Structure 1
Amino acid sequence: MAKDSDKQKIVHVHLPKEETYSTTLTAGPHELMADEPTEVEGGRDQGPDPYDYLLMALGSCTVMTIRMYIQHKGWPVDDVYMELRHNKRHAEDCEKCEDPKSKIDIIEKEVIVEGELSEEQMDRILDISQKCPVHRTLLSDIKIESSITHK
């Protein structure tokens, strides 16, 4: 018998043939939409794009991790939120890139904390922000195992 920790979460992603990019994402009872912006031919901007979801996953995990930490410490924090940005920079920023035209992905995370905190507490919160599970996953060696099923 499988333990709860052995159960894998399944996310279902569906792009119907009548849609160009508008995609339905289902995680348990939660349904979301993804799409490309209107600047992309065929995009209708009916939902965040895939990189938006990546940033939202990282940001939500980060603020949850921070909230757990500050509650444990009992620090006087009124609010915690983040602004995240993703871009690609040219290979000049990538010393080990083999392809001279390559770009590296850069994610900028800005943690915004409202409350009466010392500089030392703020530094600790910044350190904790880099320890959330999604942050660690994105920085780790990731193996994606792909398969295909024909119906």
Structure 2
Amino acid sequence: MSEENAKKILHVHLPENEKFKTTLTAGKHELLADEPEHVDGGEDQGPDPYDYLLMGLGSCTLMTVKMYAERKGWPVKDLYLELRHNKRHDEDCQNCEDPKSKIDVIEKELIVKGDLSQEQLDKLLDISRKCPVHRTLEADIRIKSSVTE
């Protein structure tokens, strides 16, 4: 099996002596996740899980936009993305009193530095919606879970 087709395995570890601080390992890269201090037991020693979700979406988005702009030879100097996540009622909410009726909303604001026309900016915004992680998050997702000892 080629390296690009191999299954990617990440390891996530929460040891007995930690409340929430989790070590995430992806190949040779090691990161920390934690809950913020306002969560009972959180020590804010790393981004929280939703931060990592947004970082994955953000990095994929900017990589996709840059790849497209480079192929087109467009003069993009810098790319930034600001992301926000919250839970709120949908605009056409039928049962807004029920807290379970809230949906997850991710807002992405693409900031492009460079001498580009409005048409080019609009195209980059369109391309930003086509990154693989964006498509995954908007698709039907199945998560298969199991437990071992």
Band of TM-score, shorter chain: over 0.9
- 5+ residue gaps, structure 1: none
Cα deviation, residue 4, structure 1: 3.9
Over 3 Å counting, the alpha-carbon distance change for 1:94 and 1:12 in structure 2 is farther
Over 3 Å counting, the alpha-carbon distance change for 1:97 and 1:11 in structure 2 is farther
Over 3 Å counting, the alpha-carbon distance change for 1:96 and 1:69 in structure 2 is farther
Matches within 5 A, 1:71-150: 71-90=70-89, 93=91, 95=93, 100-102=98-100, 103-150=102-149
Give the Cα separation in 1 of the matches to 2:8 and 2:96.
36
Q: Give the counterpart letter for 2:138 in structure 1.
A: L
Cα deviation, residue 98, structure 1: 9.8
Give the Cα separation in 2 of the matches to 1:98 and 1:81.
34
Q: Is the 8 A contact 1:93 1:104 kept in 2?
A: no
Over 3 Å counting, the alpha-carbon distance change for 1:72 and 1:58 in structure 2 is same
- 5+ residue gaps, structure 2: none
Over 3 Å counting, the alpha-carbon distance change for 1:41 and 1:94 in structure 2 is farther
User: What's the C-alpha RMSD, in Å, of the aligned pairs?
Assistant: 1.8
Give the Cα separation in 1 of the matches to 2:15 and 2:2.
35
Q: Is the 8 A contact 1:65 1:132 kept in 2?
A: yes
Give the Cα separation in 2 of the matches to 1:96 and 1:142.
24
Q: How many residues align?
A: 148
Cα deviation, residue 96, structure 1: 6.7
Matches within 5 A, 1:1-80: 2-80=1-79
- Match of 1:93, SS state, is coil
Give the Cα separation in 2 of the matches to 1:106 and 1:122.
23
Cα deviation, residue 6, structure 1: 4.2
Cα deviation, residue 95, structure 1: 3.6
Over 3 Å counting, the alpha-carbon distance change for 1:8 and 1:94 in structure 2 is farther
Q: TM-score, normalised by structure 2?
A: 0.93
- Match of 2:99, SS state, is coil
Q: Name the % identity.
A: 63
